[in-house]
Chain A
């Protein structure tokens, strides 16, 4: 089954404790991205990647890191989480760079930073 998976689905942590949210897709998509969703703000892009070893900042990259060592994986790293990073996070992927294909979203990771 074609899908985007994220782990963990729920995470409660404390300020300053490094964490990684994993994202994996099995559709051989070149393009992957991370979004955060906050009430009243919709989804905002954090980082995106057009292919292996190619990443770029989205609209709200501060406090986040990403890496793209393999095509299927695109982990989101919070080196020193803070309470304002409490949010619902979505990973997404799509194929092609110029093709306007739909993005496939993961199920979301709800992160709480105390």
Chain B
């Protein structure tokens, strides 16, 4: 069955430190992969997406993600976290039609 897994429920990093949020997918073929961010009380904002081609994709707000087929992963990274990055992050994967979301990773940022 198709699935998207985010192994970390909650991560805390210090402001200015680097960040990596993990996402693993299980699909028969290469899925379309997305990262969304949800700030408290807000809707979902698309950070970046991968369809094909270059496996390193750049997104908004300084985020990037790398698609690794051998590891079935699509981890989200940022070199230096800002306090405003505190939010919940969702990885999602889709084939034809539907998106399957991971359960989310809540990011807290320490001053």
Hey, which bits of chain A sit against chain B, CB under 8 A? 31, 33, 35, 40-45, 48, 50, 58, 90, 92, 97-98, 100, 102-103, 105-108
Contact = CB atoms under 8 A, between A and B. Distances in A.
Contacts of B104: 42
B43 A102 contact: no
B49 A31 contact: no
Given A42-B104, A48-B98, A58-B98, A102 B90 contact: no
B43 A31 contact: no
- Nearest first, the 8 A-B pairs at minimum CB distance are A100-B32, A42-B103, A43-B101, A105-B44, A42-B101, A107-B43, A100-B51, A42-B104
Contacts of B49: 100, 102
Contact of B34 (A31, A102, A107, A108): A102
Interface in B36-94: 36, 42-44, 46, 49, 51, 90, 92, 94
Given A50-B97, A102-B34, A102-B46, 11 more contacts: A40-B103, A42-B6, A42-B101, A43-B101, A45-B98, A45-B99, A98-B96, A100-B51, A106-B43, A107-B43, A108-B42
Contacts of B100: 45
A90 B44 contact: yes
Given A102-B46, A107-B43, A97 B97 contact: yes
B9 interface: yes
A22 B11 CA distance: 35
B93 to A, nearest CB: 10
B16 to A, nearest CB: 29
A28 B97 CA distance: 16
7 contacts: A40-B103, A42-B6, A48-B98, A90-B43, A90-B44, A100-B94, A107-B43
